[in-house]
A and B are shown apart, each in its own frame.
Chain A
Amino acid sequence: MTAASMNPKAARLQKVFPVDLEKFLPERVLKNYGQWVDRKFHGNGIIEHISATGDRIFTVKVGMPPNARISAETLDKFADIADSLGIGAVRVTMAGNLEILTDSLDKALKIKEEVEKMGFPVGGWGRSLWGINSCTAYLTCTTAVVDSPSISKALGDALAPYFKEEALPAKLRIFVSGCPSMCAGGTAIDIAIVGQWGAPPKIREEVIGMCLPPPKALAKIPETQIFLVQVCPTGALTLRREGDKVKLTLIGEKCINCARCKENCDAFDYDPENVGVAILVGGKLSNTGSGPRLARVLVPWLPAIPPKYEEIVAVVKHVVEVWRQNAKPGERLADFIDRVGWSKFLEMVGLKEVHDYYQRVPEFARTFLAFRGRGDVYKRLRDAL
């Protein structure tokens, strides 16, 4: 027997996956599994599913705090509501909303009342704000550049009416990520906000050794075998010989601020003075309208100043307003931009300063173009700001 098989804890190598529908699905859901035939909306935040058996389930969508962070204490209160007014179950959505399930419209409306008393908004679905996804950032993340939960809070405060009752032309979703890793869900969304350093990172010489082979080995191993060199997509990280020492060097002109180095090694640092966010618009994942696509950069950099983030909030509110005033009913931001055209959209937004690098380069070629000696890209970006 191996050591591992003698240790009872080795049982942990076989995971316990929660896959048993009988155990995890509410009874009423199980009974009507696959038999749903119709749906009705009852204002923002309440949807009714009708089964072929005649059963109904009403779902009340509750907006959660940024990053779907909630205390066990509050969650227990939601469980109480689900027991007293619902069918003893809730559901979590990918947008980080909490849905409370019940069996009549009356009870659904009571749930809404109770939840609102607790200070949580009910809304989403149809032509409204469906939610704001935020990554964890300063709450736990070591690579975070800006704090997405507090940015999300500021945006939620500004856009709350569109979640609760005010109509938008169509569905709106916002993803806020603290750095280019984009853990809030990437950029295939109506509005994406992504934190970034604004300037190439600085190598902390005193700790970079942690992420490199020992100095003697470093002098012998081919550059292409060095992990950090492999990780950098543009060749901005290279080895340079200084006297008899070999050093990892960062060529600022080649850096595109993708943050992959930082993600893989803690020895990269930045100056908060340069930090900001990019705002992207017009992406989506669903196949509606003209299909899924990534968002485009509208504003490549804005400062992120807690706790109000006034600059970011102002731009987002303005974009939503332009869309609200000019879109046809049912037209998502992406489809609206498609119809009027990107230049016309920029004109409507009133933005003259556009960095064309981001627009002309086809997505798959970005890196290769950067390889082809586009050393001026970075400089042009800074100048444009």
Chain B
Amino acid sequence: MSAPANLPPKEELLNRAEEILKQLEGGPWPSHVSELRKTRYPLHVYGVGLVARKSPWGPAAVKVEFLNTGVLSRWARDWVPGGGSEVHFRVFHTPGKFLRTDFLRKITKISRELGVGLIELVGQTGALVLNLTPETAEAMVDALREIGTDVGGSGDAIRALNACVGPALCEFALYDTLKWYAEFYKDKRVNDNIVTPSYPYKFKVKFSGCPLDCARAQRGDIGFIGVWEGAPEVDQELLGKKIEAGEVDPEKLAANCPSGAITWDKEKKELRIDGTRCKKSMHCIRAAFPAIKPGKKRKVAVVVGGGSKGRFGPKLGWFIGYLEPDQVKDAIDLTFKVIGPWEAEAQPKYRLGDYIMHLGLDKFIEKAGIKLEGMPVSTAKMPDEVPYAVLPKEVRERFLSFAQQLKGRV
């Protein structure tokens, strides 16, 4: 980007940058500037950006042999006095993002010795981000591989997988998200498509253990969300105790169920839940856990086509059916079935969701050859609001036959 108009001369620019940086160090919230000061990050570049109200960074091209994704590099724009560079690695996070202190110290050691002593604990891909200098890039990849992780996950490839903490530290986990996460990583196809960017756009895979969706699976290109069939399970006795202790108000519980599935029988002191109506909002479960728990029959709901970026703007995923909690191998195959037509046909920079919008979900499912339990009958996300269209004869006839069937019955 070009220099902004009216940029003050060098000395004044740097002074004003420092002034703004100082102001960002006050206040009750922890300051990123105070942290940056403890590192070798070129802070003046950031400060100059804030004065100019323009990003001070331009693209650079630091290359590391046999590392095609996960390395990002910048040069300060020519209007930044003193210049500077910024290089960072996207490093695969640990399962559940647990960091044992021995491992954490290895990371900080690498960061101090081969990097600039600066870490971004989690990026939106779920990666751990380590800043470094171009000279140490080679050494740093090897050091990271040595301690059991690696660099990767940028560009038009499969990005770092993301799973919620799951059974490791959550009562609600309805399938083993961390096991799925591990099995996906172990698959060669997944490895190869993380290593080499060759898709129309990025592809994100996410695993959430329950409908609270902590891993943000609704926003992944493919997401797996733990659910149960029917009604939540009620332990009437324990619930009774909780009600007596004043921890749970059964009337409120029923009133706050978004699907009106809960009724409270005052006489019998019994809480009934209509499984056919329950929308799996998790409300009653969170309010009265463990007296109310998710039902025993567990499933993994599959959603496809979500994402924040993309040709057609931000979108949430479409639900396309269920897998069983032990069907992780099938989930991996399904992922590549989903990728197939998109990889072959989508225009550059179309996210999977953009491609599906373009094609229509029905046609996409047909093309990808997806068959899942509980597939929605009609897969259109929303009906059209525009009352005119160019329709092929077969489509018109489908609607005609629908009406004709009804004629006989009504």
Known: A16-B149, A141-B57, A364-B381. A94 touches B216 (CB 8 A): yes
Question: Counting CB contacts under 8 A, is B357 at the interface?
Answer: yes
| Cβ of B328 under 8 Å from chain A | no
Q: In the assembly, what is the distance between CA of A291 and CA of B317, in Å?
A: 13
Chain A residues closer than 8 Å to B169, beta-carbon distance:
29, 36, 49, 57, 59, 91
Known contacts A138-B50, A362-B382, A367-B311; A25 and B121 CB within 8 A of each other: no
A83–B150 Cα distance when bound, in Å, is 26
CB–CB A275/B117 < 8 A: no
Contact with B along A69-112 (1 / 0, CB 8 A): 11111111011001100001111111010100000000000000
The reply to whether B4 and A230 form a contact with Cβ atoms under 8 Å apart is no
Pick from A147, A160, A183, A304: contact of B29, CB below 8 A: A160
List the B residue with the shortest CB-CB distance to A98.
B121
Q: How far is the CB of A96 from chain B (nearest CB, A)?
A: 5
Known: A16-B145, A24-B103, A285-B213. A72 touches B112 (CB 8 A): yes
Contact A75 B182 (CB under 8 A): no
* B194 interface contact, C-beta 8 A: yes
List which A144-185 residues lie within 8 A (CB) of chain B.
144-147, 149-150, 153-154, 156-157, 160, 178, 181-185
A37 to B52 Cα, complex, angstroms: 54
Chain A 339-357 near chain B by CB (<8 Å), digits 1 or 0? 0000000000000000000
Q: Cβ of B364: which chain A residues have Cβ within 8 Å of it?
A: none
With known contacts A24-B103, A92-B97, A12–B141 Cβ distance under 8 A: yes
Q: Say yes or no for B35: interface residue by CB 8 A criterion.
A: yes
Q: Indicate whether A26 reaches chain B with its CB closer than 8 angstroms.
A: yes
From B4, B101, B126, A79 is in contact (CB under 8 Å) with B101
Of A14, A36, A75, most B-chain CB atoms within 10 Å: A75
- The distance in angstroms between the C-alpha atoms of A182 and B216, with both chains bound, is 14
Residue of A nearest to B308 (CB): A186
Determine whether the beta carbon of B118 is less than 8 Å from that of A72: yes
Q: Which of B267-275, B281-289, B400-408 lies at the interface with chain A?
A: B281-289
A237 close to chain B: CB less than 8 A:
no
Counting chain B CB atoms within 10 Å of each CB, the highest count among A29, A72, A136, A366 belongs to A72
In Å, the complex CA distance between A145 and B348 comes to 24
Inter-chain contacts of A258 with B (CB < 8 A): 313
Among the stretches B66-74, B371-379, B391-399, the one at the interface with A is B66-74
Give the segment of A214-222, A264-272, A315-323, A376-384 that binds chain B: A264-272
Residues of A within 8 A of B316 (CB): 188, 285, 292-294
Does B13 interact with chain A (Cβ within 8 Å)? no
Judge whether A142 and B92 touch: CB under 8 Å: no
Report whether A12 and B67 are in contact in the complex, using a CB–CB cutoff of 8 Å.
yes
Nearest residue, chain B, Cβ from A62: B30
Residues on B with beta carbons closer than 8 Å to the beta carbon of A94: 122, 126, 162, 214-216
Q: Pick from B4, B121, B211: contact of A287, CB below 8 A.
A: B211
Q: Are B124 and A135 in contact (CB under 8 A)?
A: yes
Asked if B357 and A364 sit within 8 Å, CB to CB, the answer is yes
B279 touches A79 (CB 8 A): no
The minimal Cβ–Cβ distance linking B49 to chain A, given in whole angstroms, is 4
* A185 engages B141 (CB within 8 Å): no
Contact of B298 with A by CB under 8 A: no
* Nearest chain A CB to B202 CB, angstrom units: 11
**B64 to chain A: closest residue by CB:** A12
| Centre residue among B150, B258, B314, B349 by max chain A CB count within 10 A | B314
Say whether, besides A231-B348, A260-B311, A266 and B101 are in contact (CB < 8 Å): no
* CB-nearest residue of chain A to B128: A92
Please determine whether B212 and A286 come into contact, CB atoms closer than 8 angstroms. Answer: yes
Contact B168 A29 (CB under 8 A): yes
Name the interface residues of A282-338: CB closer than 8 Å to any CB of B.
Answer: 285-294, 304-308, 330
- A15-B92, A307-B20 given; A38·B289 CB < 8 A: yes
- A294-B55 in contact (CB<8A): no
> Is the C-beta of A13 less than 8 angstroms from some C-beta in chain B?
yes
Q: Which residues of chain A are near B95, meaning CB under 8 Å? A: 18-19, 21, 24-25
A119 to B176, CA, bound (A): 37
Q: Which residues of A contact B308 (CB under 8 A)?
A: 181-183, 185-187
Contact A96 B148 (CB under 8 A): no
Q: How far is the CA of A14 from the CA of B50 in the complex (A)?
A: 41
Q: Residues 16-38 of chain A: 1 if any B CB is under 8 Å from the residue's CB, otherwise 0?
A: 11111101111001100110111
> What range describes how many residues of B lie at the interface?
35 or more
A53 within 8 A of B: no
Closest chain B residue, CB of each to CB of A369:
B386
Contact check, A140 vs B74: say whether CB atoms are below 8 A apart.
yes
Assembled-state Cα–Cα distance A306/B49 (Å): 10
Q: Contact partner of A157 among B27, B39, B173, CB < 8 A?
A: B27
Q: Residue B385 at the A interface, CB < 8 A?
A: yes
Q: A17-B186, A18-B93, A98-B121 are in contact. Are A75 and B108 (CB under 8 A)?
A: yes
Write out, one digit per residue, whether chain B residues 148-166 have a CB within 8 A of any chain A CB (1) or not (0): 1110100000000010010
Contact flags (1/0) for B306-338 with A, using CB distance below 8 Å? 011101111110000000000000000000000
Q: Across the interface, which residues of A come within 8 angstroms of B283, CB to CB?
A: 288-289
Tell me whether B44 is interfacial, beta carbon within 8 Å.
no
Question: Once bound together, how far apart are the Cα atoms of A314 and B35, in whole Å?
Answer: 27
Contacts of A93 in B (CB 8 A): 97, 122
Decide if A68 is an interface residue (CB 8 Å cutoff). yes
B236 within 8 A of A: no
Complex-state Cα separation, A90 to B121, whole angstroms: 11
Partner of A71, one of B35, B56, B145, B216: B35
- In the bound complex, what is the Cα–Cα distance between A135 and B314 (angstroms)? 16
Contacts of A196 on B, CB cut-off 8 Å? none
Contacts of B135 in A (CB 8 A): none
28 residue pairs of the A-B complex, CB under 8 angstroms, read A7-B65, A15-B185, A18-B93, A24-B95, A29-B96, A29-B169, A49-B169, A71-B38, A91-B97, A91-B165, A94-B214, A121-B29, A136-B123, A138-B49, A147-B50, A186-B308, A188-B219, A231-B348, A260-B349, A285-B216, A286-B211, A288-B258, A289-B283, A293-B316, A294-B315, A306-B53, A307-B23, A366-B313
Chain B residues with CB under 8 Å of chain A are 1-2, 4-5, 20, 23-24, 27-36, 38-39, 46, 49-50, 52-59, 65-67, 72, 74, 86, 88, 92-105, 107-109, 111-112, 115, 117-124, 126, 128, 141, 144-145, 148-150, 152, 162, 165, 167-171, 173, 176, 178, 181-182, 185-186, 191, 194-195, 211-216, 218-219, 256, 258, 279-283, 286, 289-290, 307-309, 311-316, 347-349, 357, 381-382, 385-386
Extra contacts, 20 of them, besides A26-B98, A285-B216 (Cβ < 8 A), are A15-B92, A17-B182, A24-B100, A25-B168, A29-B98, A38-B289, A70-B118, A71-B39, A74-B38, A75-B108, A83-B101, A94-B126, A94-B162, A136-B123, A144-B55, A266-B1, A275-B53, A288-B258, A307-B23, A363-B312
Top 5 A-B pairs, shortest CB-CB distance = A156-B29, A186-B308, A287-B211, A157-B27, A19-B182
